[in-house]
Amino acid sequence: MDRPTHTELRLADRLRIERAVWTLNAHLDNLPNRAKRARRRETRANLYAAAAEVGAAEAIRGLGDLRRLAAEYRTAEYGETGPQPSYSGAVVGLLLVQVAASAFMQGGTHAFVAGLLAAAPDATGTFQWSGIPYLTAPVTVTAVDGTQRTAGGAFTSLFYLLWLAAFVLGGRLWRLLPTWRRWRAGDAAAPAPGV
C-alpha cells in the first residue's frame, strides 16, 4: 500500500504537526536562529514521515516531552558542560551593571563632596564634578554654610545604548566559545569560529 503523501495528510494532522513543531521551537528560544530553523525543518520532515507510518498523533507522541527534547537539543548545541544562554541571566547581568554603575557614580559624588569639605569646610557656592565624560551628566554640588546638596549625575542615552549593545554583542559572541574551544583543541572537523 502506498504511503500517504504530504498533500494526503489530513489538514487536522498537518495542523497538529505544525503545533508540535512550533511548540518545540518555543522551547528552543535560546538557540541561535540558524539552529532553530534547522530543527524546525528536520522535525517537520521527520513527523511527516512518521505520520505516514503510524499517524500524526503517534508520531508526535514519539517525540516525547517537547520541553525535554528541546533541552537535549540545547545540550547537543552547547555541550554537556558548556554555558547555555539564559534570558534571566542576561536580565540579572544588565541589572548588576546598572547597580554597579550607580554605585560608582554615588561613590564618585561622595568623594568629590569629601574633597570639597576637606579643602574648605565652610565653602559656599556651586561646584561641579564632570562625572564620566559622555556617559553621565555633570554632578552639581551646591554648598551653603557647610551643608551640601547634589544634583545631576544621570546616565546619558549613550550609556544606555552602550549598555544594551554590550549585552547584545556579548550574547552573540559567547555562543562561539564552544566552537572556538573545539577549534583550539585541534578538532579539524569543527567549523572555524565565526561560522
Partner 1 sequence: MNQIHDPQLLKGVLSPLLLWLLAERESYGYELVQRLRQIGLTGIADGTVYPALARLEREGRVSTRLVASRSGPARKYYRPTDDGYAALTESTGNWLSLTEIVSPVLARPVPPQPAPPAEEN
CB of 50 to partner 1, least distance (A): 5
Contacts of partner 1 in 81-140 (CB under 8 A): none
Is residue 154 part of the contact set for partner 1 (CB under 8 A)? Answer: no
**For residues 17-46, which are near partner 1 according to CB under 8 A?**
38-39, 41-46
By rule CB under 8 A, what string of x and - marks binding of each residue 50-69 to partner 1? x-xx-----x--xxxx--xx
Closest contact distance (angstroms) between CB of 128 and partner 1 is: 56
Secondary structure in 3-state letters for 5-62:
CHHHCCHHHHHHHHHHHHHHHHHCCCCCHHHHHHHHHHHHHHHHHHHHHHCHHHHHHH
Count of CB atoms within 10 A of residue 58's CB?
A: 11
Q: Which of 13, 16, 36, 77 binds partner 1 (CB under 8 A)?
A: 77
Q: Out of 76, 103, 169, 173, which residue is the one contacting partner 1 (CB under 8 A)?
A: 76
- The interaxial angle of helices 33-54 and 11-27, nearest 10 deg, is 150
In what side-by-side order are the strands of the sheet with 139-144? 125-129, 139-144, 147-152
Alpha-helix residue ranges (DSSP H) falling in the chain: 11-27, 33-54, 56-62, 66-78, 87-119, 157-173, 177-184
Question: Which residue, 45 or 173, has its beta carbon nearer to partner 1?
Answer: 45
Those residues with Cβ within 8 angstroms of residue 71's Cβ, 6 or more apart along the chain or in another chain: 27
CA distance 47 to 125: 76
Region of 1-9, 89-97, 136-144, 163-171 interacting with partner 1 (CB under 8 A):
1-9
How many residues of this chain interact with partner 1, rule: CB under 8 A?
36
Site for partner 1 in 160-189 (CB under 8 A): 182, 187-189
Backbone angles phi, psi at 146, to 5 degrees: 85, -5
C-beta neighbour count of 93 within 10 angstroms: 15
Taking the complex as a whole, the smallest distance from the CB of residue 190 to partner 1 amounts, in Å, to 5
Q: How far is the CB of 170 from partner 1 (least distance, A)?
A: 22
Q: What is the smallest separation between the CB atom of 32 and partner 1, expressed in angstroms?
A: 12
- List residues binding partner 1 (CB under 8 A): 3-6, 9, 38-39, 41-46, 48-50, 52-53, 59, 62-65, 68-69, 72-73, 75-77, 182, 187-191
